[in-house]
Amino acid sequence: MDRQHTDNYYFSRDELFAYEEKGYLVREKIFSRREIDELLISIDGAIESLRDAVSSGVTYFLDGKRFVDIGTTTLQFEHSYESEDIRVVEPVSGLSANLDNLMESPRIVDPIKSILGTEIISIWTNKMNLKVEKSGSGFDWHQDSPYWIHDHPDAGSLPNVFLSFDDTNKQNGCLRVIESSHTSGCLPGRDDGTQLGGFFTNWEAIKSGAEISIEIPLGSLVFFDPHLIHGSEPNTSSYPRRALIMTYQAGNYPMLKTGEIRQISGLGVCDAK
């Protein structure tokens, strides 16, 4: 899809080729520190509201890890015993007007339109990863497609966008990918007797030597394929590693979990003149 517009964020021909070949593409410093700081204020407010509602939510455990459902929003807590640190919030749509506007920014959705080859897109899901300093746990090697294969007619057409709210590096658990692993499609999970093992990529399917650690400054974006094997190490630094992962789809499809159709207009408030 060769875009010739002059004032947009669509992928160039070379960028789209690189994305299709490697399964991911990085654009650095797309959002300013001021914009990130403003978004973090909204995120902090939304998380505090969720914390206040935890006692009224539905709590359950998978492989000893605590989850709480508050309506259609799921909180995952850190793995250490009785930790009150929230690890993941999914979805975040509807929790903050600023976050909802962000997810319609052309800086994010124009490249997604390039990937999907359509101007009509909608939201599939989104989540906040809150990897707290010194104790934030990692994410084992996995693909996203196995999570969604039973809920969407084409789990391979759900591109992700990772927005970093902090400078990321190996010490604070930056995103890691297995380059070009998406070309193998949806891979088998682990048959290890655990409840969640099937969602983690079978070790035999992971190609050694192809791991890339994506160290990027705050405000950067990583676009990646739902079949791409990815994960991260724990945060051993004194700084958090917070990120928003947004997943899109073609238009007129309902969101995961909520069933709501959230079409994208393509002009978020932060981009309005």
Determine the Cα–Cα distance for residues 134 and 217; give it in Å rounded to an integer.
19
User: Can you list the domains of the chain with their CATH numbers?
Assistant: 13-252 (2.60.120.620)
The CA distance from 125 to 73, in Å, is 11
Q: 47-68 pLDDT, tens per residue? A: 999 999 999 999 999 999 999 9
Check whether 158 has a pLDDT greater than 80. yes
Which residues lie below 8 Å from residue 138, measured CB to CB, with a gap of 6+? 173, 231, 232, 233, 234, 235
Confidence of residue 6 (pLDDT cuts 50, 70, 90): very low
Helix, strand, or coil here: 69? strand
Question: CA 199, 203, 204, 208 torsion: positive or negative?
Answer: positive
Taking the C-alpha atoms of residue 167 and residue 187, their distance in angstroms, rounded to an integer, is 31
| Whole-number Å distance between alpha carbons of 32 and 20 | 27
Q: pLDDT tens for residues 188-236? A: 999 999 999 999 999 998 987 889 999 999 999 999 999 999 999 999 9
Tally of CB atoms within 10 A around 178: 24
Whole-structure pTM value: 0.94
Query: What's 39's DSSP letter?
Result: H
Helices (H), 117-197: 145-148
Report the pLDDT value the prediction gives residue 207, as an integer from 0 to 100: 82
- Classified as helix, coil or strand, 273 is coil
Mode of pairing for the β-strands spanning 139-142 and 241-250: unpaired
Range with the lowest mean pLDDT among 77-81, 105-109, 140-144?
77-81
**121, 251 contact by CB (below 8 A):** yes
Does the pLDDT value for residue 81 go beyond 90?
A: no
**CA 75, CA 129: separation in Å to the nearest integer?**
10
The sheet carrying 58-62 orders its strands as 24-27, 221-224, 160-164, 241-250, 121-131, 86-90, 73-77, 65-70, 58-62
3, pLDDT greater than 70? no
The identity of residue 112, as a single letter, is I
